[in-house]
Amino acid sequence: MQISTIHSLCSRILKEHPVEVQLDPNFKVAEDFEGTEFLQNCLQKYLRQALKEDNTAVLQLVQVYGFNGLVRQIESLSENLADIAAEKDLTIPYRQSGRHLGELREQLCLAVTQLIQDKNNLTSAKSKGRQQLDELSSAQEEILQQLAEDPVNTTLLEAKMAGMRAAGKIKELVNEIRDNMGALKNLYIDLEAIPLVEQWQVVLQEFAAFCKQEKQENDFLTYNDLELLAVKLLSENPAVRSYYQQKYKYLMVDEFQDTNEKQRELIYLYAVMIKMF
């Protein structure tokens, strides 16, 4: 029987297979505060070096966020830096948003047309809501022309919909129109963000590589590094994985619900051929 924390388990796996992970078997693991300080020092060193070399991506992000703002943004991503940097294209979700442009435009035009067509059945002729719908109806042609523009222009539609109150079926149509206008705005925000996301990808990948180099030169590992390297070793090396899967018959994990994603991945790699409880 063997009892250990997840991090001591990771450490033991790596020390038993230092060649496969290219580590000095006498490596030491930094405490959390040391890891934080090391990361902060690396970040300052990377950014100042990048600015000195007129790094285009860093210069653009500094222009947007300011130097201290960029530091805070990167620090907030530090826990997941390796996973983010490993992504081949961070812009994919933003580009995928653009695929919905035609669908949103069509839904918006249909909802506006339906609302105007049904106005006589939906509200009293003397009500304030009916007056607003009459104004919307008189501007229908111009509104639809604006919605056909690229980018979609919702200026007039927003003006006519401002303050419009409704109930029943008309409320559903009004809410649908407002929801679609909001979705269109978010879509264009995503599309406009693509060039910035591209610069973020460059900076995060460069910084992750910079940190890796600094850690190797200083024989420095954090608890997060232990998890990443252990998972990488077991997932990429079938012989090592098989060895540990066959080493124990049972695996008990205390407070499994409190484990993070990497720890769970490690446990599943470890426990494929054994019973876990």
Calculate mean pLDDT across residues 114-122: 76
pLDDT at 221 over 80: yes
Task: Find the DSSP H helices in 17-153.
Answer: 18-21, 32-52, 56-65, 67-77, 81-86, 92-98, 101-117, 119-122, 128-138, 140-147
What pLDDT is attached to residue 125? 55
What pLDDT is attached to residue 133? 83
pLDDT at 127 over 70: no
Model confidence band, residue 263 (pLDDT cutoffs 50, 70, 90): confident
Model confidence band, residue 277 (pLDDT cutoffs 50, 70, 90): very low
Give the three-state DSSP class for 251.
strand
Higher pLDDT, residue 187 or 272: 187
Looking at residue 220, the DSSP 8-state letter turns out to be E
Higher pLDDT, residue 193 or 244: 193
pLDDT at 166 over 80: no
Range among 66-75, 229-238, 250-259 rated most confident? 66-75
87 vs 80, 113, 248, 260, CA distance in Å? 11, 43, 34, 19
Mind listing the pLDDT tens digit for each residue in 24-75?
Answer: 888 888 888 888 999 999 999 999 999 999 999 999 999 999 999 999 999 9
Mind listing the pLDDT tens digit for each residue in 175-215?
Answer: 899 999 999 999 999 999 999 999 999 999 999 999 989 98
pLDDT at 101 over 60: yes
Burial profile 125-142: b = 16 or more Cβ within 10 angstroms, e = fewer: eeeebbebbeebbebbee
261 vs 94, 247, 256, 265, 268, CA distance in Å? 24, 23, 11, 6, 11
Range among 107-111, 130-134, 159-163 rated most confident? 107-111
What pLDDT is attached to residue 126? 61
What pLDDT is attached to residue 70? 96
How far apart are the C-alpha atoms of 75 and 36, rounded to whole Å?
9
In contact, 206 and 200? CB cutoff 8 Å: no
Average pLDDT, the chain: 87
Calculate mean pLDDT across residues 241-254: 81
